[in-house]
A and B are shown apart, each in its own frame.
Chain A
Amino acid sequence: MRKLILGRVLSSFFSLAALVVMVFFLSRLTGDPAALFLPREATQEMLDNFRRLHGLNDPLIVQFGRYVWDLLHLDFGQSLRQARPAIDVVFEGFAWTFQLAAITIALVSIAAIVIGSLAAFRPGGIFDRFASVVSLIGASAPDFWVAIVAIVVFAVNFAWLPTSGTGTVWHWILPVAVLFIRPFGLILQIVRGSMIQSFGSLYVKTARAKGVGNTSIIFVHTLRNAMLPVITVIGDQAAAMLNGAVIIETIFGFPGVGKLMIDSILQRDFNVVLAAIMVTALAIFVMNLLIDIAYAILDPRVRT
C-alpha cells in the first residue's frame, strides 16, 4: 500500500508539472490581460504601465522562471483582478465547490446504488424500466433548464426554498438537487449493469442455499462485489464536480471554483487559472488515491 501511494505521488507530481508548464505557456498565447483589465479608452501609457507592474513585458521564459521560483516558495502569485494572492481566491472558491461536490456525490452514490440495485434485481421489470427512463432523461436534460424550472417552481411558486445564494442549509437544497440529476443517471446505469452481472454469480446461489434473505443478498452479498466498476465511475463524476459546476454556480450565485475558473480564463487572470488548476488537480489526485484505497478495502483480492 505504501508503495502504491508513493508511486502515485511521484507520477502525479510529473502530471502536475506537465500541466503547469502547458497551462502557463498555452494560456499566454490567448491574448493580453492588460487590454482586458483596462478600459478600451486606456492610453498606451496606461497599458505599458500595467504590463510593467505585472511583469508582462519580460520574455515568456523569464516570466516562467519567476513563476516557478515563487511556486517553490509556495507563492502562487497575485490575482490580477482581485489584487490579492491567487491561492486565497482559489481556496475560497474551492471550499464551496468541495462541499457541494461532497454532499452531492454522497447523495448520488447512495440513491443510485439503492435504486440501481433494486432495478437490477428484476431486470426488465416495471421498476427497472421506470428507473432507466427517468435516469436517462436526467442524464440528457440540459441542466440550466432543470435549474431554472426548479427555481420557478420551488422558490417562486411554492416559496418553499430560497431562489439562490448561500447562507443556510435551505440554500443548498436546490443546487444539490439539480447537480444530482446527471451523475445520478449515469451511476445508476453502471450500478444496474454491474449488479445484474453479480446476481448471476455463484456465491449468490450459496447465499440462497444458506437461507439468506433477498435484502441481504442484494445489499450485503452482491453489492460489495458489484462496487468496483461503480466506484470508478463515482470517482470520475466526483472529479468532474471538483472542477466546478459552472452552470449551477452561475445560476444559483454559488461562489465555486468552476465559475472562478471560467471568469479567470475569460479575463486572462493567469495566476488564478494556474492556482485553480493545481488545486483541483491535486484534489482529483487525492480522490483517485482514495478510490484505489477503497478498491483495496472492498476487494481483498486487490490487496495482495
Chain B
Amino acid sequence: MTMTQTLPGTSTQAEVQQKGRIRGVLGMLWRDKFALAATIFLLVVIFCAVCGPMLMGDAALSQNLRGRNAPPFSIANGWFYVLGSDSLGRPLLPRVVVAAQNTMLIAAGAVLCSSIIGALLGLVAGYASSRVGNVILRLADVIMSFPSLLLAVVVLYILAPSVGNLVIVLAITRIPVYLRTTRAEVMEIRQRMFVEAAEVMGASPARIVFRHILPMVIPTLVTIATLDFAFVMLAESSLSFLGIGIQPPQITWGLMVSQGRQYLATAWWLAFWPGLAIILTTMSLNLLSNWMRIALDPTQRWRLEIGGKSNG
C-alpha cells in the first residue's frame, strides 16, 4: 500500500501545471538552489563560449614576456589580469573565457556524438533480435579494447589533423559506455507492460523505441554524459599533443591545464583556473542532470514542487 499514490493532494498539482510550462519549470528550478546555481554558472559558461572570443579574443593573445606568470588577485595591470597571467604573459581571465568556446564545442560535440550513436546502437542491441544484439555488443568490446591513442594516431595518419577528427576520436572511444548502459536498460524496460500496450495498439518498433523506451533511458544517459564531460575535457588535451586537436593560439581548458602542469610548483594559477572551470562545469552539469532527472519524471516532479527538501 503506497500512501502517496491516491492522496487527494494531486489535484493542486494539475493546477501548478496549468500555470504554464515555463513558469512551472522556473519555479521548480528556483526551489532547488543547487540546481539554480548550477544553471546560472552554465549560462555564464555558454555566454563565454558564444561571446568570449568576440569580447576578449585579442586580450587573450596579447603576449608580454616581461610580465609572465604574474600572480593572481592583482589588478595593477587592469582587471584582465585579476586571475594572473600565463608563461607568455597573457592574461588568464580572458584566456579562460575565450577557451570556453573550443572546450564546449569539443566536449559537447564528443559527448553528443558518442551518446547519440551509443544510445542508438544500444536501443537496437536491446530491442532487436539477440543475434544482432550480440554482434553489436562484441563491436563494443572491440572498441573498448582498442587503445584510444592508437585510434588517434590512425586517424591522424589517415585523415588530416582537425578539430572535427579530434571529436570523432573522442566520441568513438566513449561509445561503448552508452551502448552498454542503454542496452541494459532497454532489456529491462521492454518487458514492461506499457510497451506491450503500445504493441497491441500497433505501434511500430521505431515508435516503441523512441517514444516509449528512450525517454526512460535518457535520465541515466544524461548522468553518464555529465561525468563524461569532465573526462573528455581532460582527454582532449592529451590528444592535442599528437597534433590532431586544437592547435595554439587556439586554446581549450584542457590544454591550459596541461600547459600549466610544469608550473604547478612555481605558478599554480596557470593550471588552477582552467582546472577549476572544468570542475565547476562538471559539477554544475551533474547537479543539473540530477535535477532534470526529477523534473522530467512526472511521478517525481512533486519533490521539486514542494521545495528542495528531499532532492534525492
Contact = CB atoms under 8 A, between A and B. Distances in A.
Task: Decide if A and B touch, CB cutoff 8 A.
Answer: yes
Interface string A18-31: 11001100110111
Q: Would you call the interface of chain B mostly helix, strand, loop, or mixed?
A: helix
Interface stretch (B18-26, B53-61, B83-91, B134-142): B134-142
A152 B257 contact: no
Contact of A243 (B147, B154, B311): B147
A133 B312 contact: no
Given A15-B138, A145-B271, A123 B312 contact: yes
B198 interface: no
A34 B147 CA distance: 22
B268 to A, nearest CB: 9
B153 A265 contact: yes
Contacts of A149: 264
Given A18-B138, A145-B271, A148-B264, A133 B147 contact: no
Given A30-B153, A140-B283, A145-B271, A12 B261 contact: no
B271 A26 contact: no
A258 to B, nearest CB: 9
Contact of A23 (B138, B146, B278, B283): B146
B106 to A, nearest CB: 16
Interface string B257-296: 1100100110000010001001101110010000000000
A280 B145 contact: yes
B184 interface: yes
A266 B149 CA distance: 9
Given A141-B275, A142-B234, A142-B257, A27 B310 contact: no
A60 interface: no
Given A19-B146, A123-B312, A236-B177, A145 B264 contact: yes
Contacts of A284: 141, 144-145
A262 interface: yes
Given A23-B150, A30-B157, A265-B149, A14 B138 contact: yes
B147 A145 contact: no
Interface string B171-206: 000000100100010000000000000000000000
